[in-house]
């Protein structure tokens, strides 16, 4: 078997339907967190964030707002790493929140959404930067940060079970505020939006049991 074939065989293919259903299954926890803002970590968070909003929708209530920041992991200068590892990678932000129109983080329940918590580098960066912004905003308004009543939470479709390169605050790492649709071994996850052959991708996801899933009675979960 060639190296390329080995890499191909090791990938875990995930279909759009599978992601949709994982998020549907997470709906009770998402509702319990009860965000008033969804903060999409683009690009990987884009599709999941929109699905999350669907499952937070309550009749006769407005949609939960979505805002986006754009973050990318880049190879840090002088480091050596493999495609799957973020060791030696740094986060570069190409877009951040716009506070110029009076919007701030004070008093909000903010759910960060991304597709995967891999080495945790990206989530750590996002939370740290938001916390810095909150501190500045509180100082500007003469409020103590402890009194700001701001809560950060996280939703990821997949959390990889592996040693992480960074930590998140205890205020996030609890059952209510850290929501992972699935814990997964440290495998190469192929997400559908990365595919340039969605028919092949979906076929592989079905073969691997990563398309729609049914319960033990052959029923699917309904809202």
Ligand X SMILES: O=P(O)(O)OC[C@H]1O[C@H](OP(=O)(O)OP(=O)(O)O)[C@H](O)[C@@H]1O
Q: Which sequence positions are flagged as catalytic?
A: 118
CB of 144 to ligand X, least distance (A): 31
* Alpha carbons 54 and 98: distance in angstroms, whole number: 25
**Six-digit token pair at 117?**
């918590």
Binding residues for ligand X, total number by CB under 6 A: 15
Chain mean position to CA 151: 16
Sites for ligand X among residues 10-29 (CB under 6 A): none
CB of 131 to ligand X, least distance (A): 17
CB atoms within 10 A of CB 28: 9
Closest CB to ligand X among 147 and 183?
Answer: 183
Find the part of the chain contacting ligand X (CB under 6 A) among 32-40, 99-107, 120-128, 199-207: 120-128
Sites for ligand X among residues 33-92 (CB under 6 A): 41, 43-44, 72-73, 86
Closest CB to ligand X among 24 and 81?
Answer: 81
- Choose, by CB under 6 A, the member of 68, 121, 137, 159 that binds ligand X: 121
Residues sharing a CB contact under 8 Å with residue 47, sequence separation 6 or more, in sequence order: 16, 19, 115, 193
Binding mask 90-119 for ligand X (x = CB under 6 A): ------------------------xxxxxx
Closest CB to ligand X among 137 and 158?
Answer: 158
* Alpha carbons 162 and 84: distance in angstroms, whole number: 12
CB of 156 to ligand X, least distance (A): 8
* Alpha carbons 84 and 116: distance in angstroms, whole number: 12
**Six-digit token pair at 29?**
């926890």
CB of 59 to ligand X, least distance (A): 32
The closest residue (CB) to ligand X is 44
Residue keyed to tokens 């559908």? 192
In degrees and rounded to multiples of 5, residue 183 shows phi and psi of -90, 140
What's the full length of the chain, in residues? 223
Closest CB to ligand X among 42 and 206?
Answer: 42
Question: Shortest CA distance to 151 belongs to which of 55, 71, 34, 65?
Answer: 34
Q: Does 120 bind ligand X (CB under 6 A)?
A: yes
Closest CB to ligand X among 27 and 73?
Answer: 73
7-10-12-13 Cα dihedral, nearest 10 degrees: 50
Tell me which residues touch ligand X (CB under 6 A).
41, 43-44, 72-73, 86, 114-122
């Amino acid at each position: 078997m060639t190296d390329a074939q080995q890499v191909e065989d090791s990938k875990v293919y995930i279909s759009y339907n599978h992601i949709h259903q994982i998020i549907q299954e997470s709906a009770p926890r998402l509702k319990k967190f009860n965000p008033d803002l969804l903060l999409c970590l683009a690009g990987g968070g884009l599709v999941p964030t929109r699905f999350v909003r669907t499952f937070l929708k309550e009749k006769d209530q407005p949609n939960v707002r979505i805002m986006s920041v754009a973050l990318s992991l880049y190879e840090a200068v002088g480091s050596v790493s493999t495609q799957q590892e973020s060791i030696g990678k740094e986060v570069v932000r190409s877009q951040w929140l716009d506070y110029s129109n009076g919007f701030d983080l004070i008093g909000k329940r903010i759910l960060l959404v991304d597709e995967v918590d891999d080495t945790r580098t990206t989530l750590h960066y996002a939370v740290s930067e938001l916390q810095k912004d909150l501190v500045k905003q509180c100082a500007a308004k003469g409020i103590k940060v402890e009194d700001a009543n701001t809560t950060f939470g996280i939703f990821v479709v997949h959390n990889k079970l592996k040693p992480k390169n960074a930590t998140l605050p205890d205020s996030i790492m609890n059952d209510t505020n850290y929501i992972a649709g699935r814990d997964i071994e440290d495998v190469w996850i192929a997400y559908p939006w990365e595919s340039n052959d969605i028919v092949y991708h979906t076929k592989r996801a079905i073969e691997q049991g990563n398309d729609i899933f049914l319960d033990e009675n052959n029923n699917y979960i309904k809202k």
